[in-house]
């Protein structure tokens, strides 16, 4: 019987160039934000960071970071919050394309 190991990877890349700038990884199941906090990945203070919902709280560590707004428990997002999330996701789609290419590689 072969035991399968999971590998969690974090990718940092330039949005305009699509060049991978940094990789962080660990074995096993680890939350995305914990992997980020435990890695030595540091962003320049003027760099804009766009992350997914798994990185809620990154704004406390980096001022120019943006994450989608989570729906409150038992509530709904306003139209302006939904519009913000759509615009942010349009920027983030390139991240998902890079993740797909790395997984296929």
Q: What is the pLDDT of residues 43-80, one digit of tens each?
A: 778 878 888 888 888 888 888 888 899 999 999 999 99
Task: Tell whether 1 is covered by a domain.
Answer: no
In this predicted structure, what is the pLDDT of residue 3? 46
In a domain, 38, yes or no: yes
pTM greater than 0.75 (yes/no) = no
Q: Yes or no: say if 89 and 95 are a contact pair by the CB < 8 Å rule.
A: no
CA-to-CA dists, residue 34 to 29, 43, 47, 58, angstroms: 10, 16, 21, 11
* CA separation, residue 95 to residues 7, 23, 62, 71, 100 (Å): 18, 13, 19, 22, 9
DSSP result, 21-39: EEEEEEES---HHHHHHHS
**Structure tokens given for 40:** 């030595």
For residue 33, the enclosing domain spans 7-104
Give the pLDDT score at 42: 77
Tokens of 36: 């980020």
Q: Structurally, how many domains does the chain consist of? A: 1
């Amino acid at each position: 019987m072969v035991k399968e190991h999971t590998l969690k990877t974090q990718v940092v890349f330039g949005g305009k160039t699509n060049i991978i700038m940094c990789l962080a990884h660990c074995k096993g199941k680890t939350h995305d934000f914990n992997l980020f906090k435990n890695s030595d990945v540091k962003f320049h203070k003027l760099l804009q960071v766009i992350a997914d919902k798994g990185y809620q709280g990154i704004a406390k560590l980096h001022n120019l970071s943006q994450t989608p707004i989570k729906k409150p428990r038992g509530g709904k997002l306003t139209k302006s919050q939904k519009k913000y999330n759509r615009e942010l996701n349009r920027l983030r789609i390139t991240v998902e394309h890079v993740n797909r290419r790395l997984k296929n590689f």
